[in-house]
Amino acid sequence: MGETEQKEKSHKEKRKEYTYNKLKGLGLEIIEDIEKNKVPSVKVPSRGTGNIIYDDTKRYYVLGDRYGRRSLGNVKQIRKLGQMVYVANFCKDLVAREKTATIREMYYVSEGWGISFKTQQESNIVGEDLEVTLGTTREDLGLMPEEDGASVYGDINLIDEGTEINATKMGKSGYTISPTIDQVDLRECNVDKVLAVETMGMFHRLVQENAHKRFNCLIVGLKGQAARATRRFLKRINEEKGLPVYICNDGDPWGFHIAQVIISGSAKLAHVNEDLATPDAKFIGVTASDIINYDLPTDKLKDVDVMRLKELSKDPRYKSDFWQTEIKKMLKIGKKAEQQSFSKYGLEYVVDTYFPAKFEEMENQA
């Protein structure tokens, strides 16, 4: 137990210390300016589209070098800088007390501040400004998104809230990734891969068919577009445990992109992709080739699907031969298929036949 507690402290405490010092540093910078009789100003990296760059080596979007200055010497910026200092102070208090608040709660709390926000949109932006200025994630600052992350089922031990838990002993719906996933320690993990699927329907199918035992994997139910906490979890498990991550979604542009955001991050969150993107994660289906090879039940592509596929084909994250081929093929057949459509061949087919074939294919590639 002694070792347990010490290790737990290490991940959580490391991040806490780092964030606290960053916040303190911001305040000290302003105080220094004042003491030197300089007009206080803060350097804020630009998040404009011109400063969002796809990094070929890192294989995700990053921010470039451009930045702006928020100065108290500029009448237009006084309000913004004031708000930023208030938010930073609020966050410093959260971090010190090991508390969190939703961005909605912060918006309401700000009613009591000297410089409050007109809309939540405004307070969200200041939160993001702070994130990018300090180079921390919003979650590290104690500002939580509303929604929980994915469901996890399989033989992994975690320490959450001081309790060691195993994700096969939490009921059929498994462990829910909470927004505060960086306060959790990943421990013993008796699996050799992670299988993330788009729908909870497929998640429950996999649990029911004992896929976690048959494939020696963690099953992750993404619930559509992956929450930040889910992406952080997948990143950490890939890095800390060295496990390969496989993603299986619906065979349509939206399923493709749910996988891609996990793999290469989003442009909008370029400043935190380093913490969120898992460039080694692999999309294993449903591909356009799967639709043909498995003769799956399909729906016709809608105009909006076709438009989206064309957009994706020009996106730097989709420039590999694999993606280019699959996007072209889908446009050619004009059809899409859901991951649950494998049940055409019976409920067990996806676990008995499809996934084994896919994993073999992956191993042969590696």
What CA–CA distance (Å, rounded) separates 322 from 23?
43
Q: Candidates 45, 127, 154, 179: give the one binding its own copies (CB under 8 A).
A: 179
Q: Does 62 bind its own copies (CB under 8 A)?
A: no
Count of residues of this chain found to bind its own copies when the rule CB under 8 A is applied: 51
Taking the least distance from each CB to its own copies, the nearer of 94 and 327 is 94
Sign of CA dihedral 223, 304, 354, 345: positive
Q: How far is CA 195 from the centre of its chain?
A: 16
Q: Does 76 bind its own copies (CB under 8 A)?
A: no
- What is the footprint of its own copies within residues 294-313 (CB under 8 A)? 297
Taking the least distance from each CB to its own copies, the nearer of 167 and 327 is 167
Q: Does 36 bind its own copies (CB under 8 A)?
A: no
- Choices 2-10, 50-58, 179-187, 262-270; region in contact with its own copies by CB under 8 A: 179-187
* 107 assigned to active site: no
Q: Does 170 bind its own copies (CB under 8 A)?
A: yes
CB 85 within 8 A of CB 77: no
Q: Candidates 35, 161, 303, 363: give the one binding its own copies (CB under 8 A).
A: 161
What CA–CA distance (Å, rounded) separates 323 from 336?
15
What CA–CA distance (Å, rounded) separates 207 from 94?
38
**E strands in the chain:** 41-45, 52-55, 60-63, 67-71, 101-102, 143-144, 151-153, 156-160, 163-166, 175-176, 185-189, 193-197, 217-221, 245-248, 282-285, 299-300, 335-336
Q: Does 101 bind its own copies (CB under 8 A)?
A: yes
Q: Does 175 bind its own copies (CB under 8 A)?
A: yes
Instruction: Provide, rounded to whole angstroms, the least separation between the CB of residue 104 and its own copies.
Output: 5
- Altogether, the residues listed in the chain come to a count of 366
Catalytic residue among 18, 108, 345, 349: 108
Q: Is 50 helix (H, G, I), strand (E, B) or coil?
A: helix
Q: Does 63 bind its own copies (CB under 8 A)?
A: no
Instruction: Provide, rounded to whole angstroms, the least separation between the CB of residue 336 and its own copies.
Output: 14
What CA–CA distance (Å, rounded) separates 166 from 148?
19
Q: How far is CA 119 from the centre of its chain?
A: 26
- Choices 62-70, 96-104, 189-197, 253-261; region in contact with its own copies by CB under 8 A: 96-104
Q: Does 171 bind its own copies (CB under 8 A)?
A: yes
Sequence letter at residue 319 = K
Containing 343, the helix (H) or strand (E) segment is none
- Choices 76-84, 267-275, 313-321, 343-351; region in contact with its own copies by CB under 8 A: 343-351
What CA–CA distance (Å, rounded) separates 310 from 264?
18
Q: Does 341 bind its own copies (CB under 8 A)?
A: yes
Residues lying near its own copies in the complex (CB under 8 A): 99-102, 104-106, 108-109, 111-112, 144, 146-148, 151, 158, 160-161, 163, 165, 169-180, 183-184, 199-201, 204-205, 208, 297, 338, 340-347
Catalytic center residues: 108
